[in-house]
C-alpha cells in the first residue's frame, strides 16, 4: 500500500485580497498591496498551516504574495527562509491592468471576447502569451518535483494565473485549456503530492480557514492523510 505520508507535498497558496481583487480589476504584474481583509486572510491561512513545518517557502516577488508569505511564516515554527522566485510573478495583462471587465470590453472588446473563448490564442496588447507562461511553469514544476524528497513540505505563494499553470504542469496536463477550469480563491490551499515521481491532486481551493472563528479552531483543521 502506498504511504503518502512519505510524499513530497507541495502547498500552492494564493495571496490575500487586494483592493483590485475587491473591485474585480485585472492586476497582472501591477504591484497592488494587500488590503486589510487580505492581511486578515493571510493570518488565517498562516494559522491553518501553523502545524505544517515547510522545508522550503517560495514566493512571487510582487508584494501581495510576498507579504502573504511573510505573514504565513510569522506564525510558523519553521526556520525556512522565504525564497523570492521571478518565475512566480503573475501573468502580465498589458493594457487591461487596472481595468474592470466592463472597462476592458469598452476599450478592447473584440480581443477580450476572443481571449475569453480561447485564452491561448491571443493576448492583450503588451501582455504575456499564456503559452510562454505555461512553458515557464513546466520548468518550475519539474524543478519542484525533482528537488523534493520524501516527507518534505514546500510552500509556494503566488497568484491565480501562475498557480493554474503550475498545477497543470505538476499534474502533466496536455490540454492547456484545462487551466481555466481551475479556481484559486484568495488565500486558498491547493495541494499536489509527489510520490515515487507520481503526482496526485490531494486538495483543491480549500478555504475552510476563512469560515471559522478563532485561531485555535482554525489550527485544528486537518488535511487528508
90 carries an active-site annotation: yes
Neighbouring residues of 172: CB distance < 8 A, sequence distance ≥ 6: 199
209 Cβ contact partners less than 8 Å away, ≥ 6 residues apart: 44, 45, 47, 48, 187, 189, 218, 221
Any catalytic annotation for residue 43? no
Backbone angles phi, psi at 8, to 5 degrees: -85, 115
CB 209 within 8 A of CB 11: no
Which H or E run includes 201?
strand 198-206
Radius of gyration of the chain (CA): 17
Kindly state the helix (H) or strand (E) to which residue 83 belongs, with its residue range. Answer: strand 82-84
Give the integer Cα–Cα distance in Å for 118 and 67. 33
Catalytic-labelled residue, pool 15, 43, 159, 209: 15
Given the residues 8, 17, 90, 97, the one annotated as active site = 90
Which alpha helices (DSSP H) does the chain contain, by range?
Answer: 19-22, 36-48, 63-74, 101-117, 130-147, 160-171, 215-219
Active centre residues (catalytic):
15, 90
Amino acid at each position: 500500500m502506498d504511504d503518502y505520508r512519505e510524499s513530497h507535498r507541495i502547498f500552492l497558496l494564493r495571496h490575500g485580497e487586494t483592493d483590485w481583487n475587491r473591485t474585480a480589476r485585472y492586476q497582472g504584474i501591477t504591484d497592488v498591496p494587500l488590503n486589510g481583509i487580505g492581511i486578515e486572510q493571510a493570518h488565517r491561512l498562516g494559522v491553518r498551516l501553523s502545524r505544517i513545518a515547510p522545508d522550503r517557502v517560495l514566493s512571487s516577488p510582487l508584494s501581495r504574495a510576498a507579504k502573504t508569505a511573510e505573514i504565513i511564516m510569522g506564525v510558523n515554527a519553521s526556520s525556512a527562509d522565504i525564497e523570492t522566485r521571478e518565475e512566480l510573478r503573475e501573468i502580465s495583462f498589458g493594457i487591461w491592468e487596472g481595468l474592470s471587465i466592463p472597462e476592458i470590453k469598452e476599450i478592447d472588446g473584440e480581443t477580450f471576447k476572443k481571449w475569453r473563448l480561447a485564452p491561448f490564442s491571443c493576448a492583450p496588447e503588451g501582455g504575456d502569451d499564456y503559452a510562454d507562461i505555461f512553458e515557464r511553469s513546466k520548468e518550475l514544476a519539474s524543478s519542484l518535483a525533482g528537488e523534493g524528497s520524501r516527507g518534505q513540505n514546500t510552500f509556494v505563494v503566488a497568484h491565480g494565473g501562475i498557480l493554474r499553470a503550475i498545477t497543470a504542469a505538476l499534474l502533466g496536463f496536455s490540454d492547456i485549456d484545462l487551466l481555466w477550469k481551475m479556481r484559486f480563491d484568495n488565500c486558498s490551499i491547493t495541494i499536489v503530492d509527489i510520490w515515487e515521481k507520481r503526482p496526485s491532486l490531494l486538495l483543491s481551493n480549500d478555504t475552510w480557514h476563512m469560515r471559522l472563528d478563532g485561531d485555535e479552531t482554525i489550527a485544528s483543521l486537518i488535511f487528508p492523510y
